[in-house]
Amino acid sequence: MPKVIFLPHEELCPDGLVVEAEDGETILDVALKNHIHIEHACEKSCACTTCHVVVREGFDSLEESDELEDDMLDKAWGLESESRLGCQACLKGEDLVVEIPKYTVNIVSENH
């Protein structure tokens, strides 16, 4: 059973958190199940970037992102080569170290 290490995030997870997860679970589902309330404005449909995360360790164990996810990621704040959408990145048996970016782009909430 892989572990997901969430690095400290000032608002969502100030002390960081280490949790066990099931193969096939998404990073977002693991976070939400463990009370780390990463935003997910599109309800996990790969239509926004609010669940953007950076996989600091274990990135190569994830399936490659598809074209739709890559197009969405291009709009993410603080995009890095190890960036993924939490709703699309599924665990594949290896431990991950995940950083939640300080900012997110939520077009829906920013237009109100």
Question: What pTM value is reported for the model?
Answer: 0.91
Q: Which fold has domain 3-96?
A: Ubiquitin-like (UB roll) (3.10.20)
Cβ–Cβ < 8 Å for 56, 62: no
Predicted local distance difference test score (pLDDT) of residue 106: 63
pLDDT tens digit sequence for 58-107? 999 999 999 999 999 999 989 999 999 999 999 999 999 999 998 776 65
Q: How far is CA 70 from CA 34, 76, 97, 105, in A?
A: 27, 10, 21, 15
Predicted local distance difference test score (pLDDT) of residue 107: 53
C-alpha torsion sign, points 29, 31, 92, 2: negative
Domain definitions of the chain by residue range: 3-96
Amino acid at 57: E
